[in-house]
């Protein structure tokens, strides 16, 4: 069977459209890379079941970081201006996190910081909590990963 010029043109348009759509998707969603489980040191912070269930519903490569020298100790009293994320594609997750820790729905701003910034190694007024893809861990000098654990109730 011989390919007609119309068939070849339609095929090329389909391939180019798919290729462009894939490139646009990467531009929108950023680098969703890295491992699902951590092997590097991490600190543990207690969280209630709503926070844990919220995080559990996300991609396992979305990790949390804080400063190694002045680490976050608790989610209590954490404000939205103390939280930042890498990439606008994490906006919905950050908004879900806000809700889970009690930040009102009326707060719509999410600070976006590129991992190329010296977030925990020289940035003035760095966030207390940084949310990004696990694959960016090596770029976060001065940071330590956070693992959230179930809050223990005191007797």
Residue range 12-25, pLDDT digits in tens? 344 344 334 433 44
Domain ranges in the chain?
1-30, 42-150
Output the six-digit token pair for 154: 């005191």
Instruction: Report helix angle 91-101 to 49-56, nearest 10.
Output: 170
pLDDT band at 4 (very low <50, low <70, confident <90, very high): low
List the single range of 12-16, 87-91, 112-116 with lowest mean pLDDT: 12-16
Residue (of 141, 123, 136, 147) closest to 38 by Cα position: 147
pTM score above 0.75: yes
120 within 8 A of 142, measured Cβ to Cβ: yes
pLDDT value at residue 38: 85
The CA distance from 133 to 39, in Å, is 15
Residue 23 in 3-state DSSP? helix
d(CA 81, CA 132) in angstroms, rounded, equals 16
């Amino acid at each position: 069977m011989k390919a007609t010029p119309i068939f070849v043109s339609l095929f090329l348009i389909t391939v180019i459209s798919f290729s462009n759509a894939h490139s646009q998707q990467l531009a929108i969603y950023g680098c969703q890379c890295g491992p699902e489980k951590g092997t590097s040191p991490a600190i543990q912070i207690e969280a209630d079941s709503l926070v844990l269930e919220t995080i559990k519903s996300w991609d396992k490569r979305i990790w949390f970081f804080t400063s190694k020298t002045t680490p976050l100790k608790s989610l209590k009293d954490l404000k939205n201006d103390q939280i930042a994320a890498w990439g606008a594609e994490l906006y919905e997750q950050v908004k879900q996190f806000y809700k889970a820790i009690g930040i009102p729905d009326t707060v719509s701003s999410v600070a976006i910081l590129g991992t190329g910034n010296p977030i925990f190694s020289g940035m003035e007024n760095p966030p207390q909590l940084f949310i990004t893809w696990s694959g960016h861990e090596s770029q976060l000098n001065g940071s330590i990963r956070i693992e959230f654990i179930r809050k223990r109730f005191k007797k």
